[in-house]
Structure 1
Amino acid sequence: MTAWVQLESVDLHFGAVHALRGVNLRIAAGERVAVIGANGCGKSTLLRVLHGLLRPTAGSLQRDARLGQAMVFQKPFALRASALSNVALGLWLRGTRWQAAKQAALGALGRVGLAQVALRNARTLSGGQLQRLALARAWSLRPHVLLLDEPTASLDPHAKREVEALMADFAAAGMTLVFASHNLGQVKRLATRVVYMEQGRVLADLPVDAFFNGPLAETSREADLFVRGELG
């Protein structure tokens, strides 16, 4: 499969903090990759490097610029404007005329089940609605790759199911997904591949079935302890 991104020996420092250490990673178009590990292991940092928000201190990163990408954060930012305007603005900034951007934004809100709140102030939406708004904003740009940082971490069970269903739909339509998650059930449901991180290092990178059902301790004792709930 065509590589979307490839990292070789990537390090990242924040002053004295060594956030990523010798990361080697190749992600192909069409994959569904879950990045897991304890808090502070480097998941969010890795996603930001993949999205181009952070530049590696050392090593190389090659990305297929033909594949557009978007990112959804754990706590999405909403402008003090309508849900419709929050989505339309991204399209307008890309050069779409405002009226056409609003029409496309309305379609994107309908895609995530939010058409009925299109004219509401986005900052009055519930946590689940706000996360779906962020998904609509990303989806409206028609990215080939979607990165998500703990997309359901603060949501109630119903909202989690709604967001997971949208992620599954996007993947079924051919979108590449790379998402950080603490929810191992979610990882089993959505991922085809699991990347386990600890202290900025990738300690395991396996197909989802091999990660959860294979002799994981032979690959990474730390990952095995994490999956068994004894680490993290």
Structure 2
Amino acid sequence: MSDVCASHVPAAARTAQAAPILPLSVRDLALRFDGATVLDGLSFDLSATGCTMVMGPNGAGKSLLLKLLHGLIRPTAGTIAWGSHDPSAVTARHALVFQKPVLLRRSVAANIDFVLKARGKDARRRDRLLDHVGLGHKARQPARLLSGGEAQRLALARALATDPEVLFLDEPTASLDPASVLAIEAIVAEARNRGVRIVFVTHDTGQARRMADDVLFLQGGRVAEHSRAADFFPAPRSQAARDYLDGRIVV
């Protein structure tokens, strides 16, 4: 896999063009559906750089949290502060990749062309983006014929085409073979090294150990723990996290 492209502007360089949207501050965030509280009083801060792995058992609220941060749903209460910006004004500056990629029923190349055109980006970047994720040789193939790992790499290329400052990933490697998992991790790690802030939901503790700078652990719709990865894995502070890592909580 090659470098993305010379025309990609690192997140750090974009600060001269616009006020940065990081750090992120979340305070007392709550979400209720039909009278049921699914997220309750979440408060945490994310720094301007690094990779945060969001972990916790099924039903903890991990995917809902990403959708709230990305602006797909509105919180019932609480605040999401992207620097000094209104949350609705910065949606275009972050991207979200789902567990099951939603691709256009067009060619692989056309999926990238669509995003570049919609965002007013340089159309010449398409081939470099596809080469970067190892799909250059499949540019003319219908996206529906891609394997699961290839489809997820296309979804990542499409997200990177928007030049995001923050990349949200909702279990992007779930159910993929080991080679595909490592390929996607390499793409994400390269983006992180360029200054893209990563927020990554996973159940894979091995993956989290490989990639995390910090871990945000959710339990029952609350933040049970937010720690540096170097502290979390050897000695989690919360009982919920200890039970999770020891396999006593079903994921």
In the alignment, the residues of structure 2 paired with residue 209 and residue 227 of structure 1 have an alpha-carbon distance, to the nearest angstrom, of 14
Percent same amino acid among aligned pairs?
Answer: 40
Q: Could you say which residue in structure 1 is the equivalent of 2:246?
A: 228
* Residue of 159, 181, 184 corresponding to 1:163: 184
Q: Could you say which residue in structure 2 is the equivalent of 1:196?
A: 217
Aligned residue type for 1:89: F
Q: How does 1:105-184 map to 2 (within 5 A)?
A: 105-184=126-205
Tell me how far 1:24 sits from its aligned partner: 0.2
Tell me how far 1:229 sits from its aligned partner: 0.8
Assess if the C-alpha contact under 8 Å between 1:112 and 1:136 holds in 2. Answer: yes
Tell me how far 1:2 sits from its aligned partner: 8.0
In the alignment, the residues of structure 1 paired with residue 194 and residue 162 of structure 2 have an alpha-carbon distance, to the nearest angstrom, of 15
What SS does the corresponding residue of 1:147 show, helix, strand or coil? strand
* Residue of 19, 30, 52 corresponding to 2:49: 30
Whether 2:116 is the aligned partner of 1:91: answer yes
Q: How many residues align?
A: 225
In the alignment, the residues of structure 1 paired with residue 22 and residue 139 of structure 2 have an alpha-carbon distance, to the nearest angstrom, of 37
What SS does the corresponding residue of 1:213 show, helix, strand or coil? coil
Q: How does 1:24-63 map to 2 (within 5 A)?
A: 24-63=43-82
Q: Which runs of 5+ in 1 are unaligned?
A: none
Tell me how far 1:131 sits from its aligned partner: 0.4
In the alignment, the residues of structure 2 paired with residue 171 and residue 13 of structure 1 have an alpha-carbon distance, to the nearest angstrom, of 33
Assess if the C-alpha contact under 8 Å between 1:5 and 1:50 holds in 2. Answer: no
Q: Could you say which residue in structure 2 is the equivalent of 1:12?
A: 31
| 1:56-111 CA-partner distances (Å, limit 9, x unpaired) | 10011111356921111100101110011111111211234xxx42x222221111
What SS does the corresponding residue of 1:155 show, helix, strand or coil? coil
In the alignment, the residues of structure 2 paired with residue 4 and residue 111 of structure 1 have an alpha-carbon distance, to the nearest angstrom, of 28
Assess if the C-alpha contact under 8 Å between 1:47 and 1:149 holds in 2. Answer: yes
Tell me how far 1:4 sits from its aligned partner: 3.0
In the alignment, the residues of structure 2 paired with residue 190 and residue 90 of structure 1 have an alpha-carbon distance, to the nearest angstrom, of 28
In the alignment, the residues of structure 1 paired with residue 139 and residue 37 of structure 2 have an alpha-carbon distance, to the nearest angstrom, of 43
| 1:191-221 CA-partner distances (Å, limit 9, x unpaired) | 100011011101000000110112x2xx311
Aligned residue type for 1:90: V
